[in-house]
Amino acid sequence: MKKAYLGIDIGSISTKGVVINEHREILAQEYLMTECKPIETVTKLLEILKEQMKDQPYQVVTVGTTGSARKLIGAITEAAVIKNEITAHAIGTISLHPEVRTIFEIGGQDSKIILIENGVVVDYAMNTLCAAGTGSFLASQAHRIGVAVEDFGKVALTSTNPTSLAARCTVFAESDLVHKAQMGHQTKDIIAGLCHSVVRNYLNNVGKGKKIVPPIVFQGGVSKNEGVKKAFEEITGHKVLVDENGHLTGALGTAILAEKSGEEKPFTFETLDMDFTTKGIDCEKCANHCEIMCVYRNNTLIDAWGNKCEQGAIRS
């Protein structure tokens, strides 16, 4: 059997999985909504990847995880590599676009910018506090306007006069949207204005003080919105590339890091057939009062984290 490597990116909104071979070619892939159920979602993800791999002569020998639930899923899958999103996205993007200098990433609840020189990350920034520059903001406004968020980009491209909307805050943007609609602005112009609003918020917050140099790659769920892509190009003055696998770069990067690790342990897709449970514990052994998360497999503790001192270490 040939060797393969599994990368899983577990975000708050979506979960992505990629299996690659030793040549870093994608053998299987899947994208699912997390729906606040990371364990159940990854179980389903593995079932789908297993089906895609069943007729291929490969054995997954290493697993890597990234994303907000990387520790949890890493513990369950016995991952050899558990990496932050910045590293994973950078590695994944560079593998697809070696000359990339700037990465724009906008997801459902957060966003990030990564600056690269000679294939190395030299600077980055993340925004997890304000939703005005994320996919969840666009989704909520799409519901308010009565247009499917999937159609936002196409509608925005029909506008020649985007409505100017407040971009600094979600609350202000929402009230401004209602005000502009009541004034008589056309829906297509308001939608185009929302796309510009997301871009301005992103550049003024996440990209503040950053030197944006092309080639630029735009990724994350919002990258599929053609209106936002066009707004980035108009405001930055640079061409922005959206890769067809841009939503998978975190998982791809983690799979590559798993391959690079050199650690091998045959992985079976039936891993999550076991009974996994989690339990949060408030430690009161010192003034830190740490919130410790424990993971159990068939009622046996397999991992725990969250303690800031040895007093809070959970060993059994």
Q: What is the pLDDT of residue 313?
A: 62
> Is 301 within the bounds of a domain?
yes
Is pLDDT of 252 > 80?
yes
> Is 10 within the bounds of a domain?
yes
- Do 254 and 226 fall into the same domain? no
Q: Give the model confidence (pLDDT) of 23-32 as tens digits.
A: 999 999 999 9
Q: Which of the pair, 205 or 17, is modelled with greater confidence?
A: 17
DSSP string, 2-44: EEEEEEEEE-SSEEEEEEEETT--EEEEEEEE-TT-HHHHHHH
The residue count for the chain:
316
> Is 267 within the bounds of a domain?
no
- Do 174 and 298 fall into the same domain? no
> Is 270 within the bounds of a domain?
no
Is pLDDT of 316 > 60?
no
> Is 268 within the bounds of a domain?
no
Give the number of other Cβ atoms within 10 Å of residue 178's Cβ.
Answer: 11
> Is 266 within the bounds of a domain?
no
- Do 207 and 187 fall into the same domain? yes
Range of 58's domain?
Answer: 2-92+250-261
> Is 271 within the bounds of a domain?
no
- Looking at every residue in the chain, the average pLDDT score rounds to 88
| CA–CA separation, 206 and 200 (whole Å) | 10
- Do 206 and 294 fall into the same domain? no
> Is 295 within the bounds of a domain?
yes
- Do 143 and 172 fall into the same domain? yes
Cis peptide before 214 (omega within 30 of 0): no
User: How much of the chain is in helix, strand and coil states, percent to nearest 5?
Assistant: 40, 25, 35
> For the residues 139-155, what does the mean pLDDT come to?
84
CATH code of residue 109:
3.30.420.40
Taking the model in full, what pTM does it have?
A: 0.83
**Half-sphere exposure of residue 105, counting CA atoms within 13 Å on the CB side?**
27
Strand partners, 10: 15
- Do 239 and 142 fall into the same domain? yes
CA-wise closest residue to 10 among 50, 37, 48? 37
Q: What is the pLDDT of residue 135?
A: 74
- The count of domains in the chain is 3
Q: Please list, in sequence order, all residues whose beta carbon lies within 8 angstroms of the beta carbon of residue 310, skipping any fewer than 6 positions away.
A: none
